[in-house]
Amino acid sequence: MMYLWLIMGLAVLVAGGEFLVRGAVGIAKKAHISTLVIGMTVISFGTSAPELFVSIGSALDGNPDIAIGNVVGSNIANIALVLGITVLIFPVIVDRNSKIIDWPMMMGATLLFFLFSYDLVIELWEGAILFGILLVFTFLLIRGSRRKTKKELAELDDNDEIASVKDKIGLSILFTLIGLVGLYFGAEWLIKGAVEIAQSFGMEERVIAVTVVAFGTSVPELVTSAVAAIKKETDISIGNLIGSNIFNIMAVIGVTALVKPIDVDEQILNYDMWWMIAIALALLPMMLIGKKVGRLKGVMLFGSYVVYITLIVMSM
């Protein structure tokens, strides 16, 4: 049965990713918001919903290792695994805002997460700070996008995918909702099957959290980014992943800490978080050097994820 959950979850995730990209691009057109910002907000928040539900549920059930490990492992997977695979499919030309606004925000959130975790507990007030910063950032992001130049809006008009859903805002919203629901249930089923399989092999809670559960909750990002890359909506790909990492820390950890303070496992703090910080730092030169994040950089990112997982498995 656990293998059936795994297969069903993956199938629903693929379908959900297709609907979400189509709907989000249509909303971007109608609301005069760039596809990059849609990727940073609607899509990244939607694809991070599994992390939110898993972390809150784990904290309430007395499994803080799952709550923290899920976010840390997912942030590592989003950049090293998901972006790596995405640019192997189709190289990504990085938007200027991703370099000067979005990446610094992601890096700042990552360092703040590490700082708050240093005493091995994330308190309610720390969760409130994280979530409050996210609200302000999202508001400024959307307001700034709506002030884009006529030239940038004209470029949106030239996009075939956007044109195909022109003036059908209701249909676009419906597609987005169907996609989000599909991603939620698909991730739930995939995680259920994956955790049962991992437990059958005797894996400890922390390892399950940063590998199996983190991969499962990152599958929506992987599917959505891969679909976006195939459709050449690369702004959605990079925006989705950076936005998802920001959301994972500031909303998932923030809201979970507001519900219940989260204990931080010392091994996650001293090992896995350093991997998260290092991979986030490594992304910057990849964005700055050259005109795009191409396949060679994709191989480097994917390779780093393979090394990380291999070291964890070998340490069991």
Check: CB of residue 253 under 8 Å from CB of residue 124.
Answer: no
Q: How much is the mean pLDDT over the chain?
A: 80
Please give the full DSSP string across 173-214, using - where no structure is assigned: HHHHHHHHHHHHHHHHHHHHHHHHHHHHTT--HHHIIIIIIH
- Which pLDDT tens digit goes with each residue over 224-246? 777 777 777 666 667 778 888 99
Give me the pLDDT at residue 99, please: 86
Tokens of 184: 């939620």
Confidence band for 70, pLDDT divided at 50, 70 and 90? confident
Distances in Å between the alpha carbon of 262 and those of 64, 66, 117, 120, 236? 6, 10, 9, 8, 32
In whole angstroms, what is the distance from residue 94 CA to residue 43 CA?
18
Residue 136 pLDDT more than 80? Answer: yes
Classify 1 as helix, strand or coil.
coil
Terminal alpha carbon distance of the chain: 26
Classify 264 as helix, strand or coil.
coil
Pairwise pLDDT comparison (313 vs 147), residue with the higher score: 313
In sequence order, what are the residues at sequence separation of 6 or more whose Cβ sits closer than 8 angstroms to the Cβ of residue 205?
A: 63, 65, 66, 69
Confidence band for 9, pLDDT divided at 50, 70 and 90? confident
Question: Between the CA atoms of 187, 172, 174 and 248, what dihedral angle is there, to the nearest 10 degrees?
Answer: 30
- Which pLDDT tens digit goes with each residue over 194-220? 677 767 777 776 787 788 777 777 777
- The residue-averaged pLDDT of 85-99 equals 83
Give me the pLDDT at residue 156, please: 45
Residue 255 pLDDT more than 60? Answer: yes
Of 42-46, 116-120, 121-125, 212-216, the one with minimum mean pLDDT is 42-46
Give me the pLDDT at residue 240, please: 74
In whole angstroms, what is the distance from residue 196 CA to residue 140 CA?
42
Please, what is the Cα angle at 160 between 142 and 226, to 5 degrees? 70
Give me the pLDDT at residue 165, please: 42
Confidence band for 147, pLDDT divided at 50, 70 and 90? low
Residue 87 pLDDT more than 60? Answer: yes
Give me the pLDDT at residue 4, please: 83
Give me the pLDDT at residue 140, please: 83
Superfamily (CATH H level) for 2-314: NCX, central ion-binding region (1.20.1420.30)
Give me the pLDDT at residue 23, please: 80
